[in-house]
Amino acid sequence: MATSVEQRRHLATVIPGPRSQELQARKLAAVSAGVGTGLPVYVERADGGILVDVDGNQLIDFGSGIAVTTVGASAPRVVQAVKRQVEDFTHTCFMVTPYEEYVAVCEKLALLTPGDHEKRSALFNSGAEAVENAVKLARAFTGRAAVVAFDHAYHGRTNLTMALTAKNMPYKQGFGPFAGEVYRAPMAYPYRWIGDRERVAGEAFEAFASQVRAQVGEQNVAAVIIEPIQGEGGFIVPPAGWLRQVAEWCREHGILLIADEIQTGFCRTGDWFACDHEGVVPDLITTAKGMAGGLPLAAVTGRAEVMDVVSPGSLGGTYGGNPVACVAALAAIETMEADDLCGRAREIEGLFKARLHRLAEKFDVIGEIRGRGAMVAVELVLGGGDTTPAPELTAAVNRHCHSQGLVTLTAGTFGNVLRFLPPLTISDELLGEGLDILEQAFVANA
Ligand code: PLZ
């Protein structure tokens, strides 16, 4: 695949190098402490599977900026489209004087998202903003207030989405009071299910349905919001059939199902959307991240009757569906189609899982290997049959990978999940080299 950056790992200095350290000192003096950085190497260029930093280091990217640079960080089609667009115009505000590119993105979303019903979309700047608007629409359509979200969920950092997000530290601590009418339900988390591990889907569905009935009342629920594979929560893959049961239950009770596919969407899991794998058609779907090749763009796509229930002017924002972000999305989607990046995600899953299963034979601290497509994780535990989470080990393995020029991310409510989200344009060679580094990190720390 054509990339603008040499696809080779190279360590010129320690990680982070002296220039990055200087910049990090400036960062600490100028940027709020609330904005953290997982690996303070300052990036100068990036594409394919490589990030080049200001010290001349070339790092292997297993993070894609949290599942954003699916097509690479300077994919040729995206770069060309953006250059052309900024020369033509950068902004008009779609709500003042519209332009074709916004409409074209919405047409594409209607074609690609699950279900062949009539759809409409609205575009926004960030994932959190899309989630907020999906909830607004569900409430307006149903005339109900309650929203049900799950244990381990992540939906954003704005006030309403903080309420939907499950984890307190660091996302919620000190930031309340939170938006009302948000209720939490148990998640089908196979590895840590307390009941019968063979019957997680059924038991988890019963626990969810009975809790909502007892604590909220189905007739008060506007929407259930779910990440079909949970992202920040630790790549939790619910058992087959569970999501479909939840979807059917929603339909029975006139409740809208919102699939938050902000992290899972756009080829990441080996399908266009993670719902496709389960054959589930949500009423509303939120997307962002991988959609626009690194430019900020998010969307709510849903049933026309839901999306059209609100009055003109009730959805939007100054920058929502910015033309530069829209052409980037059209170019990124074209790349996914032309290069069959869904197929590539499935290949990457095969490569990762084969290596990780061999690793798990040697290291019993690997409690579970899970995920789909190029969204794979390992959950680390104390080992020797003890499934207590091992966050210190996770942090140590993560740090070791960073020091060797491999960008990895952690996740999970208990901070004990190492997750892998490589760009889908990464080469097999870089994947293999990254996995070698990961193995050394286990040898050194486990
Ligand atoms: N919904 C499922 O994954 C963003 C953010 C991590 P924004 N996840 C990565 C962090 O520490 O900020 C995300 C997501 C899901 C919503 C969001 C929110 O998307 O574009 O970050 O607002």
Range of the domain at 251: 77-338
Instruction: Tell me how far CA of residue 205 lies from CA of 253, 259, 302, in angstroms.
Output: 15, 17, 24
CATH number of the CATH domain containing 239:
3.40.640.10
Does 154 share its domain with 88? yes
As a whole number of Å, the end-to-end CA separation of the chain is: 36
Q: Distance between CA 403 and CA 396 in Å, rounded?
A: 11
Q: Is residue 6 part of a domain?
A: no
Does 268 share its domain with 322? yes
**Could you tell me the distance, in angstroms and rounded to a whole number, from the CA of residue 131 to the centre of ligand 1?**
10
Does 322 share its domain with 435? no
261 CA: nearest ligand 1 atom? 2
Please write the tens of the pLDDT for every residue from 320-356: 999 999 999 999 999 999 999 999 999 999 999 999 9
Q: Which residues pair with 299 in a beta bridge?
A: 123, 287
Please write the tens of the pLDDT for every residue from 282-300: 999 999 999 999 999 999 9
Q: What is the mean pLDDT of residues 195-217?
A: 96
Q: Is residue 70 part of a domain?
A: no
% of the chain surpassing 90 pLDDT: 98
Predicted pLDDT of residue 1: 63
DSSP 289: G
Helix, strand or coil for residue 78? helix
Does 331 share its domain with 350? no
Predicted pLDDT of residue 4: 82
Does 316 share its domain with 353? no
Please write the tens of the pLDDT for every residue from 302-315: 999 999 999 999 99
**Could you tell me the distance, in angstroms and rounded to a whole number, from the CA of residue 232 to the centre of ligand 1?**
8
8 Å CB contact between 332 and 70: yes
Q: What is the mean pLDDT of residues 234-246?
A: 98
Does 301 share its domain with 193? yes
Does 266 share its domain with 394? no
Q: Is residue 10 part of a domain?
A: no
Domain boundary among the residues 318, 338, 358 is at 338
Q: Is residue 292 part of a domain?
A: yes
Count of helices and strands (H, E) across the chain:
14, 16
Give the predicted TM-score (pTM) of the model. 0.98
Instruction: Tell me how far CA of residue 361 lies from CA of 23, 358, 384, 434, 443, in angstroms.
Output: 41, 5, 12, 19, 13
**Is residue 259 within a helix (H) or strand (E), and if so which, with residue range?**
strand 256-260
Q: Distance between CA 349 and CA 195 in Å, rounded?
A: 29
Q: Ligand 1 pocket test: which of 131, 154, 175, 273 has the largest number of ligand atoms within 8 Å of its C-beta?
A: 154
Q: Is residue 7 part of a domain?
A: no
Does 156 share its domain with 87? yes
DSSP 15: S
**Could you tell me the distance, in angstroms and rounded to a whole number, from the CA of residue 68 to the centre of ligand 1?**
10
Does 29 share its domain with 102? no
Domain boundary among the residues 290, 319, 338 is at 338
- Tokens of residue 251, six digits: 């339909």
Domain count, the chain: 2
Q: Is residue 71 part of a domain?
A: no
Quick one: 111 exposed, middle or buried, by C-beta within 10 A (0-12, 13-18, 19+)?
exposed
Domain boundary among the residues 310, 338, 366 is at 338
Predicted pLDDT of residue 3: 78
**Could you tell me the distance, in angstroms and rounded to a whole number, from the CA of residue 265 to the centre of ligand 1?**
12
Per DSSP, which regions of 142-255 are E strands?
Answer: 146-150, 182-185, 221-226
Q: Is residue 68 part of a domain?
A: no
**Could you tell me the distance, in angstroms and rounded to a whole number, from the CA of residue 327 to the centre of ligand 1?**
22
Q: Measuring from each residue's beta carbon to the nearest atom of ligand 1, which residues come in under 6 Å?
A: 66, 126-128, 131, 154-156, 227, 231-232, 260, 262-263, 288
DSSP 363: -
Q: Ligand 1 pocket test: which of 165, 172, 232 has the largest number of ligand atoms within 8 Å of its C-beta?
A: 232
